[in-house]
Structure 1
Amino acid sequence: MLRLIMVISPAAVDFMADKMDYTLKTDVLNKWVFQYQYNKRGLVSAKKIPAQDWTYMDYDQLDRIALTQDPNLRTSNKWIFQKYDELGHPIINGLATISSKSNIDLQNTMWSTNAVLYESRIGPSDWCTTNDGYTHNVYPTSCSEDLLLNYFNDYDFDGNGSDDFIPISSDIARSKNKLTGTFVEVLNTTPSQFVKQANFYDYRYRIIETDGLNERDRSDQTLNTYDFAGNILTSVRNLSVSHLMGTLSITNRQTFDNADRLIDTYMQVDAAPEIWLADLAYNEIDQVKQRNLENYMAGIDDRQSDTHRESTQYIDYKYNTRGWLTDINDITTASSLNGDYFAMKLHYDDGNSSLGASSQYTGNISWAEWRNSSDSVKRQYGYQYDQLDRLTKAKYTSYNPKETKVDDDLFTVSNLKYDANGNINAMKVKGVISKVKNAYTYGVADDLTYSYDGNKLTKVVDKGTGEWSNGLDFRGTGNTYNYDANANMTNDPNKGISVTYNYLNLPESITKTSTGDNLKVSYDAGGNKWREVTTIAGTKDSTLYFGGIIYEKGVPKKILNSDGYLVKDSAGNWNSYYYIKDHLGNIRTVFKGIEMVYTNAPLTMETNIDEEGNYPKYHNVASTRNNLERFQGISSAEIHNAQGPYTDAPIHARDSVKISVYYYWQKNAQKPQQPPKNPNNFLPLIQLQTLPDILSQQRIESGRQHSRSTFGMQLNIIGLFNYLHDKHHQQRDIEAPESAPDAYALLQLQDSSNNVVQEWKYKSDSSDKWIHLSDSMKIIVPDSTMKYHLHMELVNNSDENVWYDTLNLRIGTPTTPVIQENSYYPFGNMIDKLCWQTTGEDTSAYRYNGKEWYNPFGLDWLDYGARWYDPQVGRWWSVDPLAEKFLGWSPFTYGNDNPIGNIDPDGMAADGDYYGKNGKYLGSDGINDNRVYTVNTTTIANSNVPSVFLQSQINYVGQSTGFELSFTGNANAENSQQADGTVNVYQNVSNGSQFTRMSLGAVGGPFGNGAPPNGDYTVDDPRLRTESGFTRDDFGFSFNLNPQFETQRTLLRIHPDGNTSGTLGCIGLQCTGTQGKSFYNLLSNEVNRNGAMNLNINITDNPNNQGGEDVPKINE
């Protein structure tokens, strides 16, 4: 029988080739070779990952993994156990101390004839020392340390006869065969503290309410509402942390279009006003083309009538024909970026010779350029790769706003070399090497050479001259990294720290050995972070995490969301902050909700008010004052074939201009309609602010027409640049009647020589009544280094009388909303010279890949969830939990050595499953730990150019609880022995959801035994077959059946059908051999990972094996 016993990694082959000795000696086996051992049933009983010692596994009688012991656990004689209920649900996971039995002895115990297979629910009288509500009959039977508990079907978790949690409405307690509760222990708590959650379902078995107790043993409740398609419309979380603090209530609200695409997201904290976080627009293939942040409703008056949406920041995305992201905003616009806080352009097949970047056609990024709003300098990195797509060089250069090269090679990373497994052997980094006051000296900051023991880094020597840039000096020859038996780094002599880990291989204590300063992190058994305590010079600071809600010093401080975070200020107000990310999810810019400071320039035309003079006053006021007509007060401006009142206001890029004036044209000498006279009541202006160059642009979102700059004005605007309308083809000018006088309110953007740069005219098409003309805009200037002013004038070029009244011109200057800018070296280390943050603001600790950055006592690590990453050396300090998926790579490498196009979102290989809102399987984006997500778009990021952060709104559904296989169909009308139907692979989720992972047409019979009999089975031991009768198109496989078919057949055989009836005893899949192999790989991975898989056969009018005289009763 063919069984994999070892995989020799490329580095091992290189090592043996150098020695000219291909004998697999112990040293080679321990350092570089994946090794496997099997029990008598052919199941993996032990495995060895390079750099680690052996891990042991034992199985129950159904061949489900029941006991696991890694090298670290072996030092304390502990085993991780997994127990199941009678339906095969995983219900108890924990730690047990077993010191008297070897791995083989334990396996014999698990397979003994009297071994119990499942636990049952019990009452208090039968409790062990813990009231978990389950028997303890499955080995180990002692009252061990339960770490994770799952409950199904009811809410009486402790078995005392009453429900532990009660839903708001009893009508929603639908729980049959559903995961109703989870208890997860917070590690290292005495007595044991569990995070508890009860799930309540609606009639469609969607979680509509969760109730529980958090790490502080306080209430944590979530209430969900859904639309018909299953999208979550509102989610209200009520969190209590302390009886002194009361309950924090957070409401998240979302809207979707007719294609189930996410459009709007809102957040409200307690009774504070709701914040409109983001508004999305999509292109024709459901990629996000625009993300609008910090939205608000603007109207033409205080009553907010005729309101529309306006945004502080518009982020535009463009893609090439292969769907790869190319642009984040427009980097080619004016040097001021026209209000864009960040812009980036990615190049693929258009190389850049000055950067040494050749054209790339496989998805690798050839070169990238970006700009920040703080200085408008265009910065570039050109990338070079080897034949394995590993990064070898990143050349840096920059250009000032006038496109003159100013910095060349200042932050270049070069000399990147790797061994055959992808471990970095050398890296040279340029940067700041000294700083005297504000004078910087640049040079080689780090010139690193790495040394290894197998895949484990043992030493880094720095030949560079830099002493300042990144805070590290790797010089020295005696400094060696140390590791534990699981290959977790425990001692870093360069940073002077020691690290201890929990049983999940997560760092729980990091200590600066020279000072005793310390960082302690508390997790639950699911790996979720709950608390961190930093001790510096004896002063402790604590941070609590409650699923995106962060408490500091015992009070709520930040609430994270998909677009940024909210911060509570000293006055108790929640203020919004937003992220702008690049294609890797790196936080490049953080900005807060914008605030405008306005200067008013009113013109009432009243005789008792001094309004003559320079801005904010006007010229030609007295000469045009007239009291024959007026909108309010006693006077207005009458203009007859002459220049009216005017003013010139200084203007700057991104200033906001608001104009309001009332206009009257007496066509037939009729008396104008007069409103009540109130000289002190000047109507307020509209609140709209928008860009002049998109005044007429329309965009289609979610089946509705939604304007980025819909005015909501009570006027017709003429005289706007015609090219705007020709360009967008969305909105036509509405011309005034031919008889209307040539009179208008004029706005002109002029340069310092009074040359007109841009012009707007506002005119009415109505007569004999007062008309309100108003508009609002943000100003774009061609060159932010030059001076401009705004000329405002009331004009009448006709012989008819026109009156204007109650004019107001407001110039708003924005406060600086950007509080943080980040730029990164390729492997994630921050370029200090290009990073800045505002003092006193609540800046973001989330940086590279959007991960939380820790830098107490110079740590400079990033928490990815499953592992922590060190960007200074470009590698992980723990083994990849899914290292076996990348047999040719070192388990410590980051992003397969291509950090420009690859991300590793949770510190593991891609194993998180993603489904569209229509249930279609999309693939994996790198999220691990068996989690299942839904994505509100129908596309997923390209594997080489991940942009899922830009394209998708991701919602966590729950934990995967395993796959199911089903064959449904009908007996063939012409041959009742043959069943025509569909084979489906379903993925079950902890919240009760079920997704179709794969679906293929299938034929069952007539093949001797006829159609397979209906019923529920389990299958295991997947095996590829080569025997006749098992294959078609050179492919086929089988499962063991339990129970066996009534025909005594013990194998379930599957292979491609080939458009004919299946081969004897098999299910024929209507697919190619290649598709069949994908089907097999999916199922075999599931069974090998989680044990036996459920199979349901349900064929209408199934003949149930009445196959005729020649029905064989054997496994032919």
Structure 2
Amino acid sequence: MKRIYLLLSLLLCSLLCMSQVSTSQNYISTRTYTSPDHSGCREQVVYFDGLGRPSQTVDCGITPDRKDLVSLQEYDDQGRKLRTWLPAKSAGNGNYMTLSSLQSGASSLAGGDVRPYLQTTYEASPLNRPVAQHGAGEAWAEHPVSYQYITRNPRSFPSSYYMTPSGNFLGVCTTDEDGNQAYEFKDGFGRTILAGRMDGPDPCFAYYEYDNHDDLVNVYPPFVTYYQMNEPEGPYQTQSSYSYHYDFLHRCVYKKLPERDAIYYIYDHGDHQVLSQDGEQRVRGEWAFSLSDELNRPVLTGICHNSYYYADFPLCEIDVKARRDDTGTAFHGYILENIPLTNPVVYTVNYYDDYSFIGKHGVPTSLNYVTPPSGYGTCYTESSKGLLTGTVTARLDATGVTGYDYAAFYYDERGRIIQSRATNHMGGIEEEYVAYSFTGDPLKRQHVHTATGYSTQTEVCTYEYDHAGRLLTTKHKLNTNEEVTLVENTYDDLGRIKSSKRHGNSALTTDYTYNVRSWMKTLTTDTLFNQTLHYNDSYGGSRACYNGNISAMSWKAAGDTGVHGYRFSYDEMSRLTAAGYLWNGSPSANYDTSYTYNRQSNLTSLRRNGRTGTSSYGLIDDLTLTLDGNWLTRVDDAATSSAYNNGFEFKDAVKQDNEYTYDKNGNMTKDLNKKITDIQYNCLNSPSKVTFQDDSTITYTYAVNGTKLRTVHTIGDTTSTTDYCGNVIYENGAQKLLLTDAGHITLSDKKYHYYLQDHQGNNRVVVDQTGQKEEVNHYYPFGGTFASAEKSIQPYKYNGKELDTKNGLNWYDYGARYYDVAIGRWNAVDPMAEMYYSWSPYAYCVDSPTNYVDPTGCFSTKFGAWLYKLFNGGDQILKDIGGEYFVSTQVEHSGDEVGATVNRRFDWNGRNTGRNLAVEKQWNAYIADTKFQELCTTHGMEYVRTENQSDAVAGMLQPAMQTIIPVPFIKSGNALINAVRGQKNVTTPVIRFGGNANQVYHTFRHTDALGLDRSLVQSMIRTHFETVSSQVVAGRPFNQVIRISGRNIQYTVFKLSDGTFNIGRIHEVL
């Protein structure tokens, strides 16, 4: 009887969570339980029409007041998606809505807009290609995104000097809502040949070249193609282009990026990239190594001084492994197999499966698991199998490796990190304890920071979520002080953040509003900071923008006597060309700016007005930028006025050629206008030492994962030191700041200070916990601050990044690179440059700083989301509460839910302070790798882990491929590097024509085009190959030519390590 009662109880709990769906309609109901007793769940019901197509999607009880959100999908008479409606609110408990109720409800929730839907128009052909897409909103009824499908010779473009390939190609011309055109041309094999945008009458296209094996070998950016026609012997073809070389297994062994020397790659027999060498390493005779264990998990990285040449394929017949052996000392508990390393220096070590490394190899016993405080997760004894359990991370300064930091990670029974312990460079420990909800959301986190000779800082953060998993409150407690509510959020019916209240103070509440496209319109924080964004509506004479660009904005901060504003102008590539300053909605030239660019989107001129006196304004910068390829070599300033109070402006200190120089990795090594005579860089391409003309220096210490640990400024006879220890900031040996999710705490008095930010996360106003203004910042479009008499109390400004102004440096630290706002350029080549071939790798946010944010210095997130959507699909690009963009896989109604590009939990304003980034980086990389492999298996794809993006990009350009980005890149197996190796003792030739459907397609596509029967081709190749199979050498391509149906057909054979033979490309030869 007890068992019956138990079963009935569970059944009743399940029924409590079940919505009352409409049984008259076909539907699928999906419930995700949010509590272990099944008393809570999130339910989604998808209703299908009579043809089995999804017609309504109901998110049950998803709104803050637990009402339903219902989305409608309409189809045309050909079964194609016609209208995708924005959600309507319903109290139906999962019920199906009538069409009229849903349509009126969607209009009501969209603020009364009569077109709350996205509509697609198709061409009159069986190809079902869209010719227009009208975005949601009545204002977009006459402003669609249109598509024109053309067969055209690109030479027909107006610019006769422009280098284009000969022949006709299939092309798509995409015209955005503002009439800006983008073109992409593909050849008969589906490969992109030409792609780019129009800049007035001139095309700015990137030109792609492939070899006979369909590998991408060259990409010529726009200005390179121009110079090739005008100066075919000029330097830009090699200096500023992308170039790739491959080995016989189609792996990239040579990669040349713009303004950088080539990077070499060496692979072993197991297809692991073992060694790489960039231009600076080549000068020093170094190779970077990356070694895996028997399970192909990364375990060791560092540098060595071996003498190899990449084109000799020195490791192609060797399986290189690092085997765990705690008796080994040289490699922190690993022994290398099949590769001797000359004078190695270890950078990182990863441990898996257990904790036997603690107490050995320099790992302190203080990293052993300790019983957590009450209420936190406990370690599951078997939980570490297959998981990352520890790391060793080198510290780098200008002299090289100066020591190591160690970390250990402990997991619960569900594989979640519940405790981490790590050493820091201040001689202490960073402890972290986490408690999770049933759904995996962190409920409580305790972080304990210790450093030798300093006070222990203990933080406890408590998180509360609503029934839909949206973050409601973040509470913070420091040491024994009273707990405070850092942030309290509310949400609207569409899941967008509606308000954020800080420190429980109503005066510190920011309210948000949005337009029909869910683009942020206003944010208002009492009288402290208010901002309004204009898109398709004019303000101050601005030209309306329908493509998402901000046409104008206005703002007012505490102490202002009027309303500031900017109206923006863009060219046809959406590059910012002018920002006209507005005062109280009327034009005022006080802070006007204007910009021009070359074909590669490098800034070539910049004019900037500003404050020149107590009440006077004028031209403070009139810059002409001279370039060599993408390298900036000289800047001349024709302005005669200077900024007030030594404010922000460009300082033109010299007048000569080569004011800027660069190393072989494209890093800037000299800036004479800042009186910098030398900049040294480490292996991360981050500056390690900056030397000025007066012998002043700035030195940096980093963890090898890129985390900045220390900055030392030696200016004249004064030395100042800043240490970054987790989220605790030390100044000259004193604990100064503790960074929080909403601002910082001054450790001298334990007072909270809050950052009021604009739509981009720029810190506009700093207030104390009572709401008193402490700092105000006004920004030019590219990030410079208006000259002011206001004092600065903290260094985090534009995009929330740290600004270093000492000795006139004026650089923002974005993590991956440093940004010079005076000239709108980075100090180094973008590590993600291959994601946007048509732009300069030094340009900031594709020259549209008002619309994009670059969170790390690697790429602008909205652009990255656009690329993801381009290659992977998705319905729309949305912005989460942290200000970061993602791709939604449905008509999403909230920021951070299932369906996003990546599941991630942001702090309230997107800051990553207070988080153990080293732990997250290691853990997320490992989990992502595992999940991507699972995804590949699910979709019948082959998993290829590649460190070079060129290989991935080449894969993305192939036809009939499924591609998932970002890193780790995965491409389906059109290469032979993952052919089957499982069979042993093969005594007769086993011949394969590709390992999966995609490989088979690429193997036969040329003979298919000739009309040759596949079975005939297979039979004749098999018969012929049996007579020559003994001549094939493992690891080397073997080419043969035979006659088939009167044609000379060449086939390529690879002998694999298991003795099987794989037939690669088959094609006709003359």
Question: What TM-score range do you get, normalising by the shorter chain?
Answer: 0.5 to 0.7
Cα deviations across residues 595-645 of structure 1 (Å, max 9, x unaligned)? xxxxxxxxxxxxxxxxxxxxxxxxxxxxxxxxxxxxxxxxxxxxxxxxxxx
Distance, in Å, in 1 between the alignment partners of 2:699 and 2:565 is 39
- 1:725 corresponds to: none
Question: Is 1:513 the equivalent of 2:693?
Answer: yes
Say if 2:708 and 2:724, in contact at 8 Å, map to a contact too: yes
**Are the counterparts in 2 of residues 548 and 561 from structure 1 also a CA contact under 8 Å?**
yes
What one-letter code is carried by the residue in structure 1 that aligns with 2:830?
Answer: D
State the AA in 2 paired with 1:577: H
Q: CA RMSD in A?
A: 4.1
Question: Contact 1:182–1:197 at 8 Å: present in 2 too?
Answer: yes
Q: Quick check: 1:1025–1:1037 contact (8 Å CA) kept in 2?
A: no
- Residue 341 of structure 1 is matched in structure 2 by 528
1:181 to 387, 390, 402: 390
Deviation for aligned residue 1:86 = 0.1
Distance 1:997 1:251, change over 3 A: farther
Q: How does 1:269-308 map to 2 (within 5 A)?
A: 269-295=478-504
Q: Does 1:565 align with 2:744?
A: yes
Map of 1:458 onto structure 2:
633
Correspondence 1:690-701 to 2 at 5 A: none
Three-state SS of the structure 2 residue aligned to 1:187 is strand
Work out whether residues 471 and 858 of structure 1, in 8 Å CA contact, stay in contact via their aligned partners in 2: no
Residue 328 of structure 1: how far off its partner (Å): 0.6
* 3-state SS in 2 of match to 1:395: strand
Identity over aligned pairs, percent: 27
Deviation at 1:541, TM superposition (A): 1.4
Aligned pairs for 1:335-374 within 5 A: 339-352=526-539, 354-355=540-541, 357-374=542-559
How far off its partner does 1:537 sit? 2.4
Deviation at 1:252, TM superposition (A): 1.5
Query: Which residue among 121, 125, 140 is the counterpart of 2:324?
Result: 121
Q: List per-residue Cα deviations over 1:686-737 (Å, max 9, x = no partner).
A: xxxxxxxxxxxxxxxxxxxxxxxxxxxxxxxxxxxxxxxxxxxxxxxxxxxx
Question: Where in structure 2 are the equivalents of 1:411-490 lying within 5 Å?
Answer: 411-414=591-594, 416-433=595-612, 435=613, 439-469=614-644, 470-474=648-652, 476-479=654-657, 480-490=659-669
Q: Is the 8 A contact 1:937 1:953 kept in 2?
A: no
Change (3 A) 1:845 1:476: closer
Q: Does 1:387 align with 2:568?
A: no
User: CA 1:29 to 1:277, structure 2 compared with 1: closer, same or farther past 3 Å?
Assistant: same
One of 791, 795, 806 as aligned partner of 1:837? 791
Q: How does 1:191-340 map to 2 (within 5 A)?
A: 192-242=402-452, 244-295=453-504, 310-329=505-524, 339-340=526-527
Distance in 1 (alpha carbons) for counterparts of 2:530 and 2:518: 19
Residue 3 (structure 1) aligned with residue 215 (structure 2): yes
Letter in 2 for 1:217: G
1:896 CA drift (Å): 0.4
CA distance in 2, matches of 1:275, 1:253: 10
Which residue pairs with 1:36 in the alignment? 244
> How far is 1:495 from its partner?
1.1
Q: CA shift at 1:518, angstroms?
A: 2.0
Matched, 1:540 2:747: no
Bigger strand share: 1
CA gap 1:869/1:949 in 2 versus in 1, 3 angstroms: farther
Instruction: State the match for 1:765 in structure 2.
Output: none
In 2: Cα distance, 1:853 partner to 1:239 partner: 25
Q: How far does residue 210 in structure 1 lie from its aligned partner after superposition? A: 0.6
User: Residue in 2 aligned with 1:1043?
Assistant: 980
Query: Counterpart of 1:47?
Result: 255
Q: Separation in 1 of the partners of 2:936 and 2:683?
A: 41
Alignment-mate amino acid for residue 123 of structure 1: D
**Aligned partners of 1:96 and 1:145 also within 8 Å:** yes
What's the offset of the Cα at 1:1051? 3.8
Post-superposition Cα deviations, 1:176-196, rounded to whole Å, max 9, x if no partner, equal: 000000110001478841111
In structure 1, the partner of 2:965 is none
Unaligned runs of 5+ in 1: 296-309, 330-336, 595-815, 964-986, 1005-1011, 1058-1111
Contact 1:123 1:159 in 2 (8 A): no
C-alpha distance in 2, partners of 1:543/1:962? 24
Instruction: Give 1:127 deviation, angstroms.
Output: 2.7
Q: Which residue of 2 aligns with 1:610?
A: none
Deviation at 1:876, TM superposition (A): 0.6
Q: Name the CA distance, whole Å, in 2 between partners of 1:395 and 1:578.
A: 30
CA contact (8 A) 1:563 1:578 kept: yes
Report the AA paired with residue 773 of structure 2.
V
Q: Is the 8 A contact 1:867 1:877 kept in 2?
A: yes
1:134 alignment partner AA? Y
| Contact 1:937 1:952 survives alignment (8 Å) | no
CA deviation string 1:195-215 (max 9, x = no partner): 111000001110000112111
Instruction: State the AA in 1 paired with 2:791.
Output: Q
Answer whether contact 1:432 1:440 (CA < 8 A) is retained.
yes
Alpha-carbon distance in 2 for matches of 1:250, 1:381: 41
The alpha-carbon deviation at position 1029 of structure 1 amounts to 12
Pair 1:991–1:234, CA change in 2 (3 A): farther
TM-score, structure 2 as length reference: 0.63
- Alpha-carbon distance, 1:554 to partner: 2.1
Deviates more, 1:196-205 or 1:1047-1056: 1047-1056
Ranges in structure 2 where 5+ consecutive residues have no aligned partner = 1-212, 372-377, 869-873, 963-970, 984-989, 1001-1059, 1065-1070
Structure of greater Rg: 1
**Residues 654 and 672 of structure 2 are in contact (CA less than 8 Å); yes or no, is this contact kept in structure 1?**
no
Amino acid aligned to 2:491: Y
Q: CA deviation at 1:377?
A: 1.2
In structure 1, give the amino acid aligned to 2:762.
N
Distance 1:68 1:513 in 2: 35
Give, as a single letter, the amino acid of the residue that structure 1 aligns with 2:289.
F
Which moved further from structure 2: 844-853 or 505-514? 505-514
Could you tell me how far 1:989 is from its partner in structure 2? 3.9
The separation in 2 between residues aligned to 1:163 and 1:953, in whole angstroms, is: 31
**For residues 935 and 924 of structure 2, what CA distance do their matches in structure 1 show?**
15
CA gap 1:240/1:562 in 2 versus in 1, 3 angstroms:
same
Return the alpha-carbon distance in structure 1 between the equivalents of residues 563 and 746 of structure 2.
31
Instruction: Compute the displacement of 1:858 (Å).
Output: 1.2
| Higher helix content, 1 or 2 | 2
Q: Are positions 1:938 and 2:886 aligned together?
A: no
Q: 8 Å contact 2:379–2:410 — kept in the other structure? A: no
Q: 1:507 Cα shift?
A: 1.1
| Distance in 2 (alpha carbons) for counterparts of 1:452 and 1:506 | 23
Match of 1:551 in 2: 730
User: How far off its partner does 1:425 sit?
Assistant: 0.7
Aligned residues: 740
Counterpart CA distance in 1 for 2:268 and 2:879 is: 33
Per the TM alignment, residue 1050 of structure 1 is displaced from its structure 2 partner at its CA by 7.2
Write the distance in 2 (CA, Å) between the matches of 1:558 and 1:1115.
Answer: 63
Q: What is the DSSP-based 3-state SS (H/G/I as helix, E as strand, rest coil) of the residue aligned with 2:553? A: strand
CA distance in 2, matches of 1:523, 1:556: 19
SS of 1:420's partner is coil
Matches within 5 A, 1:12-23: 12-17=224-229, 19=230, 21=231, 23=232
Corresponding position of 2:368: 166
- 1:139-158 alignment runs, 5 A limit: 139-142=339-342, 144-157=344-357
- 8 A contact 2:691–2:697 mirrored in 1: yes
Task: Decide whether the 8 Å contact of 2:249 with 2:975 is kept in 1.
Answer: no
- Check conservation: 2:487, 2:908, Cα contact below 8 A: no
- 1:74 alignment partner, SS class: helix
Tell me the CA shift for residue 567 of structure 1. Answer: 0.7
1:522-569 Cα deviation digits (max 9, x unpaired)? 101111100111122212111111122111222321111121111122
**CA spacing shift, 1:959–1:592, aligned 2, 3 Å:** closer
User: Following superposition of structure 1 onto structure 2, how do residues 758-773 of structure 1 map, counting pairs within 5 Å?
Assistant: none
Q: Rate the CA distance shift 1:940–1:1025 in 2: closer, same or farther, 3 A.
A: closer
Deviation at 1:32, TM superposition (A): 2.2
- Aligned 1:374-773 pairs, distance under 5 A: 374-399=559-584, 408-414=588-594, 416-433=595-612, 435=613, 439-469=614-644, 470-474=648-652, 476-479=654-657, 480-497=659-676, 498-514=678-694, 516-569=695-748, 573-594=749-770
- Which has the higher relative contact order, 1 or 2, with Cα contacts under 8 A spaced 6 or more apart? 1
Superposition deviation, residue 458 in structure 1: 0.4
